[in-house]
Amino acid sequence: MIETDNINQYLMEQRARLIMLLRGMGIRDKSALAAIEHTPREAFVPAALRQHAYDNVSLPIRYGQTISQPFIVALMTAHLSLTGKERVLEIGTGSGYQAAVLSHISRRVYTIERIRPLLVEADRLFKQLKITNVTSRLADGRFGWPEAAPFDRIIVTCGASEIPLHLLEQIKDDGIMIIPVDGDSGEQKLKKITWNAGRSEAVIKDIIDVRFVPLLSDIDNGDG
Ligand code: SAH
């Protein structure tokens, strides 16, 4: 019991330190920082890596996937400019951490994962943490979620070779999509796409170079 108390105390201190570090790295968006402060990242990382839950690094989860670096989670969340009223679509549930962060500052989060066991585990965590405004599905996220579209915001947490057309079609006017897209020389650029009113054009801006696991096609039941 004392052991558990000590590790919890340590993790709480580490979480507070991480928030200060993110501020120092230029993350100003108060709601993004608050959402990270209220999300226990240790629940989403493998038990053996718990003591590293608040290191500012990406960590491996199962099936060769990763939970993103906190700075990138904060940056992507901040660029979504959430007020709490938005319906957000996430492609790449992974551990569920980014969806949990978004759940605190969105009306509803729709999240799609292609690897079944990851989705099952993420759903279990949402329940355990009493997060009730996240809806998930097992599917190929490149097609978006037509029945729930259009979305105020779309966030893609795996690297695409190009911007998926179906996703572009599922953003509302004045909506925002944040997505890592492969560049010409092996790099990956985090892009922010905004539809201007009337949808006459999508404005695309590069934010920063990133390294996400690839956006793949089809579902994987995890039994192969
Ligand atoms: N947001 C996650 C990071 C996940 S890593 C987190 O916070 O932990 C990226 C995830 O995208 C992986 O779990 C991978 O299986 C998933 N993915 C890759 N291609 C996909 C696709 N076409 N549709 C849905 N999910 C996909």
CA gap 13, 198 in Å, rounded: 47
Instruction: Kindly give the pairing relationship between strand 87-91 and strand 151-156.
Output: parallel
At residue 137 the predicted structure's pLDDT band, cuts being 50, 70 and 90, is: very high
Instruction: Please indicate whether residue 118, judged by its CB atom, sits closer than 6 Å to ligand 1.
Output: yes
CA gap 85, 12 in Å, rounded: 29
At residue 200 the predicted structure's pLDDT band, cuts being 50, 70 and 90, is: confident
- Ligand 1 centroid–CA 19 distance in Å is 25
Q: Considering only CA atoms, give the Rg of the chain.
A: 17
**Per-residue model confidence (pLDDT) at position 175:** 95
Ligand 1 atom showing the smallest separation from residue 217 Cα? 22
At residue 172 the predicted structure's pLDDT band, cuts being 50, 70 and 90, is: very high
Domain boundaries, given as residue ranges, for the chain: 2-209
Instruction: Give the mean pLDDT of the chain.
Output: 96
CATH number of 2-209: 3.40.50.150
Look up residue 63 and give its DSSP letter. T
Nearest residue by C-alpha to atom 10 in ligand 1: 92
Instruction: Kindly give the pairing relationship between strand 171-182 and strand 188-195.
Output: antiparallel
Instruction: Please indicate whether residue 114, judged by its CB atom, sits closer than 6 Å to ligand 1.
Output: yes
Instruction: Please indicate whether residue 67, judged by its CB atom, sits closer than 6 Å to ligand 1.
Output: yes
**Per-residue model confidence (pLDDT) at position 2:** 59
Give me the percent of the chain exceeding a pLDDT of 70: 99
Nearest residue by C-alpha to atom 16 in ligand 1: 92
* 1, pLDDT greater than 60: no
**Per-residue model confidence (pLDDT) at position 181:** 98
150 preceded by cis ω (within 30°)? yes
Nearest residue by C-alpha to atom 14 in ligand 1: 92
CA gap 92, 111 in Å, rounded: 7
Active site residue 103: no
* 42, pLDDT greater than 90: yes
**Whole-prediction pTM value?**
0.97
* 224, pLDDT greater than 90: no
